[in-house]
Structure 1
């Protein structure tokens, strides 16, 4: 295709020009497929006619942002896509940026989800759960209510999340109890409840929350939900688990009856690691303990208290 013909096609497609300025590789690929009326099967065939072999699964992953081309043979495919779609040379290649780190170093300090939530492993498998690096948790605001009988009654949570790739439309939330019946997730806001998996013996629950909108990379969303707990044993601690870093955690524990005599924050790397305690917290007239942590590292952050 001549350079003049390529320029004419580009000028005629306003949305494509916008995506090339502000969008991602996945968004541009998706737009070009739709604009040319191509299915992944037909695209695969046209690439094969140019001597380029690639699976439909790989093309699908590129299209939805689950992965991106980085190897030499993949970049050859991208250049063939530029020619097929009539785009100027390096138009798509320039959207890829530098190669991402691979393996364990892809996100320094992260903790494997199965290690952080060992009781939930079979539930995640049954859900065919996607990787948990699709969303970054920017802010977590959690309010825990302990009733007058010193039992956990409910946990209200607000999450501010940011998509780390395109086409993210859900998130998974977890709950674990040691000596009581499983809780119920209620009052989802800015999302709806999707699939639920429970394991009564392990005390584990996983719920899927479907976001109000499908997110592109770097887009953000707010999610609210509440866990309601049946009557259980006397509660002496509560924590939040992080497989990846977060910008801020606000943890409040409100006591419905007499306040504890002593309350301290703690952190630990994994559920089996030794906790590291911080300085005691003040519990004011509201009978509420507040903990604010910025730049949360992967691991566990919580509060523990003594009643008498």
Structure 2
């Protein structure tokens, strides 16, 4: 499965290289402090030596997500912290704000629409499902597996989710699926496996599908629900990636790609990108295990795109 252009297990919290591209700010800041091996007291002292007084409570709040830097003096401190922590310029600042054309105003760097296109094929499909962009469910845990066949195509995609209802009345989950290049989306099948059934399914010839996964019950705020679904594909060009777009925060996601023994790739790696159409950053090398699979475990990601990519060896000319 692809998103539009766009052996070892990743740590429970994504590494610093991932967090600097996906955020959130507090997790990236905490990871940078950990890698640098500095205490908050040392950070405070180094800031003071630069003429930037900052309370320890503020540093603590920033790294735990209780508060975010928002004033001009705080931004000055963040830029100094980037230098102290050995980070590239704007590495932390870009997770907070970006320049706005009107002097003196700022706006969030991340697209406010998250993983949804405000225009284009996906937007038109979502418009056909009322309420499809509402935030009614939080993802507590998600496991997903892409199965790559002997022909190098994505044969199937399986997903199991544990969600928590954040408002009364939720009774469905809206999935978004991007087929590989050359996908015959009209031949792609969607199946409810556990605690759900498939509702309306809309498709676009470009290879995009959105569908309703119906729970059969109406949830109250705070209720949790466990469900599974599977997508049968096998119609596109050889797959080279499996990606996950984060519309809202998800507590934990486990991504796995399993390859047919007759179709093993080379150069498997994890990648991250801030948004659907932003530049991609390689974040870690991944090793295929003896069962012909690679996986990635991430936790606490709030937005952006994470995924696994690979390269196919050249086929024998003969």
Q: TM-score range by the shorter chain?
A: 0.5 to 0.7
C-alpha deviation, 1:209, in angstroms: 1.0
Structure 2: distance between partners of 1:243 and 1:226: 20
Which among 145, 150, 154 is matched to residue 152 of structure 1? 154
Q: 1:287 and 2:316 equivalent?
A: no
**Residues 230 and 147 of structure 1, relative CA distance in 2, 3 Å threshold:** closer
Aligned equivalents of 1:125 and 1:131: distance in 2? 9
Shift of 1:260: 1.4
Which stretch of the first structure deviates more once superposed, 208-217 or 142-151?
208-217
Counterpart of 2:121 in structure 1 is 119
Please give the TM-score of this superposition, normalised by the length of structure 1: 0.62
1:225 to 221, 226, 229: 229
Change (3 A) 1:245 1:263: same
Q: Alpha-carbon deviations, 1:113-157, whole Å to 9, x = none?
A: 533884211111122234331111111100110001111100010
TM value normalised by structure 2: 0.60
Q: Which has the higher helix share?
A: 1
CA displacement at 1:193 relative to structure 2: 1.0
Counterpart selection for 1:248 from 240, 246, 252: 252
The 5 A counterparts of 1:291-302 are 291-302=296-307
The superposition leaves residues 51-95 of structure 1 with CA deviations (integer Å, 9 ceiling, x where unpaired) of: xxxxxxxxxxxxxxxxxxxxxxxxxxxxxxxxxxxxxxxxxxxxx
1:135 matched to 2:137: yes
- Cα distance, 1:271 vs structure 2: 1.5
**Judging changes above 3 Å, is the alpha-carbon distance between structure 1 residues 127 and 206 closer, same or farther for their aligned structure 2 residues?**
same
Aligned twin of 2:182: 179
Correspondence for 1:199 among 191, 200, 204: 204
Report the CA distance shift for 1:270/1:118 in structure 2 as closer, same or farther (over 3 A): farther
- Larger relative CO (CA 8 A, sep 6+): 1 or 2? 2
> Using a 3 Å threshold, how does the CA distance of structure 1 residues 112 and 118 change in structure 2: closer, same or farther?
farther
Partner of 2:271: 266
Check the 8 A contact 2:126/2:133 in 1, yes or no: no
CA contact (8 A) 1:170 1:209 kept: yes
Distance across 2 between alignment mates of 1:132 and 1:188: 24
Per mean C-alpha deviation after superposition, the further-off stretch among 262-271 and 110-119 is 110-119
Unaligned runs of 5+ in 1: 1-104
User: 1:230 and 1:281, CA in 2 relative to 1: closer, same or farther beyond 3 A?
Assistant: closer
Count of aligned pairs between the two proteins: 203
CA contact (8 A) 2:140 2:252 kept: yes
Rg: which structure is higher? 1
For 2:242 and 2:119, the matched residues in 1 are separated by 15
Cα root mean square deviation, aligned: 2.3
Determine which of 149, 163, 179 is the counterpart of 1:161: 163
In structure 2, list runs of 5 or more residues that go unmatched: 1-106, 314-318
Q: Which moved more, 1:113-122 or 1:131-140?
A: 113-122
Q: SS at 1:175's partner residue? A: strand
Offset from partner CA, 1:178-236 (integer Å, 9 cap, x none): 32101210243201111111112x22111111113211111110110000003321111
> What is the CA–CA distance in structure 2 between the aligned matches of 1:187 and 1:115, rounded to whole Å?
26
